[in-house]
Amino acid sequence: MTDTVIKKYRDEWLKRVIERRNIADRVAVSLMVGTKRGTEVSTAQPLPASSAPLLTYVESLPELKSKLLEKAQPEWDSGVTARMVQANYDYIDALEGILISLASYYPPGTFSGKEPHEYFSEMVSSRFQWHRAHLEPAGPGSGGTIVNTICGGHVSDDIEKMVVDMVMSLVGYNDEFNWKSWNRKWSGKAT
């Protein structure tokens, strides 16, 4: 992949992040503090570090993921590449918002000394670069437009796994938390 192509993808991704980051943060934080979607919630202050608010937030994540998937599924099922790709971006942005919210339970400077927004934005961008590179072994643009959709699916999977990793690190060993039940719900396997 050429430097120009990499910069183009990075710049496009960063633009999308800037445009949607605040919306994704509001959705994630609003669920955490129990407000209705769309309510203006300030994210300037870090979340409390006690386990009760953290557990409440973590317990809300499978439902949030379910709602995000419910919103995205009609777009993915549309068969229209542009709609499918946009649904991927929206879903990824929301997942990134979850990572950023979870990061607020870590000490400042944990993520390479960067603010969580910056750290996770760069991480997501690098996941797009990685998946695009391996999905087009004959070079950029050789896989057609469907590569955008497939790439977004792989990035979504990566970020979902990162949420699981962070939840496990933050509360997985807390006796008040049922890890197996949460993980089944997050994976969509709960009955």
Instruction: Say yes or no to pLDDT of 75 above 90.
Output: yes
Record the tokens describing residue 111, joined without a space: 């993520």
Say what the pLDDT of residue 2 is. 60
Closest CA to 165 of 115, 103, 119: 103
Say what the pLDDT of residue 18 is. 58
Instruction: Say yes or no to pLDDT of 126 above 50.
Output: yes
Closest CA to 157 of 83, 65, 43, 81: 65
> What digits encode the pLDDT tens for the residues 143-182?
888 899 999 999 999 999 999 999 999 998 888 899 999 9
As a 3-state breakdown, the chain gives helix, strand, coil percent values, each rounded to 5, of: 70, 0, 30
Instruction: Say yes or no to pLDDT of 70 above 70.
Output: yes
Record the tokens describing residue 76, joined without a space: 């993915």
The three-point CA angle 42-104-124 to 5° equals 95
129 contacts 6 by C-beta, under 8 angstroms: yes
* pLDDT (average), residues 32-36: 46
Closest CA to 89 of 12, 165, 25: 12
* pLDDT (average), residues 131-135: 93
> What digits encode the pLDDT tens for the residues 55-68?
999 999 999 999 99
Residues 63-80 as b or e (16 or more Cβ within 10 Å = b): ebbeebeeebeebbeeee
- Residues sharing a CB contact under 8 Å with residue 140, sequence separation 6 or more, in sequence order: 1, 2, 5, 132
Say what the pLDDT of residue 144 is. 87
pLDDT band at 44 (very low <50, low <70, confident <90, very high): very low
Considering only 43-57, 62-76, 123-137, which range has the smallest mean pLDDT? 43-57
pLDDT band at 30 (very low <50, low <70, confident <90, very high): low
Q: In whole angstroms, what is the distance from residue 90 CA to residue 12 CA?
A: 14
